[in-house]
Amino acid sequence: MDYEFLKYEIDERVATITFNNPGRHNALSSIMKKEFRTAIAKADVDEDIRVIIVTGAGGKAFSTGYDLNEASGIPRKSITDWRNRVADDCDFTYTVWACSKPVIAQIEGYCLAGAFEFAQMCDIRYCSEDSKFGAVESRFSSGMATLIMPWIIGARCRELIYTGDTIGANDAKEMGLVNRVFPNDRLQVETMKVAKRMSLVAMECLQLNKRAINQTYEIMGFRAATTYGIEACVMLKQIDSQEYKEFDLLRREKGVKEALNWRDAQFKKYE
């Protein structure tokens, strides 16, 4: 199958799915999300594939999150429409959680907002030394469609979510957000080495172990808790804070870049 914004490659028993829109920092557009759902489902049913790697093209970003340009120039959504959109974003991140096989996020460069949520839903995260992580959507009064971070790093998530700060690779490793940090020029090779070792384990063993680990989280209320993140997003939209209104107005009238510049300027003197 041909993809517009993805690459799908196979190396022995490992499939690599690449977000492939580097000119937009691999922003998660509706088309890319739809294509990814198709690709991950394809890898999941392929009996020759045992491990899946997800990465981003271009070397500058795994992904900077959901495509903000898609909301520019179109009428503002009703609350129902907005809830459906946020629920779809959450469902997109669950594709890697629900996949029966191990999924490794190979992160180089920026991994922000919705992409940060997506990466945390993967089984394992490896990153390059120059990687940057952040729940930056807080800074324009937007909720997190998939509120998984408390399950990854516990109460330490509060500082990241409340400030919208961006952190580097070493801080992310120290917090437990990523498993390992590699030099940029070794990231792909080292990730593949682990994936190929993993792929030597029996398929049934990999699948049953993943199911058992996921079930541990499900029993503790993981799905109910992440679902509440959807409702928090909807409530924030309905509240329509002054910060969000200003950001949204600039995005629609002057473009996403101008809106992001305005957002960053608010925090600059305290960075």
Domain borders along the chain are: 6-270
Percent of the chain residues past pLDDT 90, beyond the cut? 72
- Summarised one tens digit per residue, pLDDT across range 3-38 is 999 999 999 999 999 999 999 999 999 999 999 999
- Count Cα neighbours of 29 within 13 Å in the Cβ-side half-sphere: 17
Nearest to residue 50, comparing CAs of 103, 90, 93? 103
Residue range 6-270, CATH number: 3.90.226.10
For 193-224, write each residue's pLDDT tens digit: 999 999 999 999 999 999 999 999 999 999 99
What 8-state DSSP symbol labels residue 66? B
Nearest to 70 by CA among 85, 90, 84, 92: 85
Provide the whole-model pTM: 0.92
